[in-house]
Amino acid sequence: MTKDLIPVALSSASVYPLNVHDAFSVARDLGYDGVEVLVTGNQISQSPARLAELSSRYDQPIMAIHAPTLLLTQQVWGSAWNKIEMSAAMARDVGCDVVVAHPPFRWQGTYATGFADGVARIMEQYGVKIAVENMYPWRARGREAKMYLPHWNPVPQPYEFVTWDFSHAAISNMDSHEAMVSLGDRLSHVHLCDGQDNGKDEHLVPGRGTQPVAEAMGHLRDSGWGGVVAVEVSTRKAKGAGEREEWLGETLAFARRHLDRNGVEAVSDPSSLAPK
């Protein structure tokens, strides 16, 4: 990898229901530049020492830590602030500088009302970026349910750093290219995938949804952006390891094709990226 290439990492969420160990193996086999670790109930994902061991074994640097701020990880690492602080400490310990966090839920009390100030404090304490991810409106009986405080859209919020997710943008009917341009230097991290405005968080392979993913990748390339693109494609419906690796190889080829500042040809046959 050279300075002319924007790094492309594989999120461990992309291999679910396999675990974080498998993410490092798949990332190496397909030729990714590193891994984003989603902290879950899996003990390896919670251990800086074991993650560092996997990083070294598979020669895959850890490029981001995704805090356990999902609904499905509410039992991981206790209180909401503890989740953020332990994620920041883990990022520092494994040598990366980005923590991905979801905006707070409305029912989370002072964590929600003091979120922006608390995030700023933890960033200063641990020397990492906490990049708040765009989410989407939840709807019940055709009406939007107010789930996040102050909002699911981080663009107008006072967050210093933002993570952008194409699947979430699709559900909320936002144009990702426009949002990325408007975020400017606040855009710190990207979850590469695709989606449709159908109310489902599908995390599709780029090009299989309706988001302007290629245009947005071109903006990152041409603007001199210095962050990491992490592939977060759902492979739960893949028919075995072969199809999972085909989808993740196709996504990597897409990213390399649209992000390469030297215009080097990307791999034209994604299946050739799969392990022999």
- pLDDT value of position 271: 47
Residue 250 DSSP code: H
Is the pLDDT at 3 greater than 60, yes or no?
no
- pLDDT value of position 269: 46
Task: Encode 178-195: b = buried (16+ Cβ within 10 Å), e = exposed.
Answer: ebbeebeebbbbbbbbbb
Over range 218-231, report the average pLDDT. 96
Give the domain range for residue 128.
8-260
- pLDDT value of position 103: 96
Structure confidence at residue 273 as a pLDDT band (50, 70, 90): very low
Domains identified in the chain, total number: 1
Is residue 62 in some structural domain?
Answer: yes
- pLDDT value of position 276: 36
Is residue 269 in some structural domain?
Answer: no
Is residue 273 in some structural domain?
Answer: no
- pLDDT value of position 262: 73
153 near 142, Cβ under 8 Å? no
Q: What is the CATH number of the domain that holds 58?
A: 3.20.20.150
Distance CA 157, CA 164 (A): 14
- pLDDT value of position 139: 75
133 near 157, Cβ under 8 Å? no
Cα dihedral value 258, 241, 34, 68, nearest 10? 110
Is the pLDDT at 98 greater than 80, yes or no?
yes
Distance CA 197, CA 168 (A): 9
Rounded to 10°, the helix 176-183/213-222 angle is 20
Task: For residue range 19-67, list pLDDT tens digits in order.
Answer: 999 999 999 999 999 999 999 999 999 999 999 999 999 999 999 999 9
Q: Is the dihedral of CA 6, 216, 99, 193 positive or negative?
A: negative
Is residue 148 in some structural domain?
Answer: yes
Q: At residue 80, what is the residue type?
A: A
Task: Name beta bridge partners: 144.
Answer: 139
Q: How many CB atoms lie within 10 A of CB 14?
A: 30
Task: For residue range 5-14, list pLDDT tens digits in order.
Answer: 899 999 999 9
Task: For residue range 144-200, list pLDDT tens digits in order.
Answer: 778 899 999 999 999 999 999 999 999 999 999 999 999 999 999 999 999 998 888
Is residue 219 in some structural domain?
Answer: yes
- pLDDT value of position 241: 80
From the list 120, 22, 115, 132, the residue with the least C-alpha distance to 66 is 132
From the list 228, 203, 43, the residue with the least C-alpha distance to 131 is 228
Is the pLDDT at 263 greater than 90, yes or no?
no
- pLDDT value of position 267: 41
Residue 45 DSSP code: G
Distance CA 217, CA 38 (A): 23
Is the pLDDT at 136 greater than 50, yes or no?
yes
Q: Which is higher by pLDDT, 199 or 268? A: 199
| Average pLDDT value over all residues in the chain | 92
CA distances from 86 to 43, 83, 101, 124, 180 (A): 14, 5, 12, 14, 28
Query: Residues near 118 by Cβ (< 8 Å), separated by ≥ 6?
Result: 81, 84, 111
- pLDDT value of position 132: 98
Is residue 114 in some structural domain?
Answer: yes
Is residue 231 in some structural domain?
Answer: yes
Task: For residue range 67-91, list pLDDT tens digits in order.
Answer: 999 888 888 999 999 999 999 999 9
Is residue 275 in some structural domain?
Answer: no
Q: How many CB atoms lie within 10 A of CB 237?
A: 9
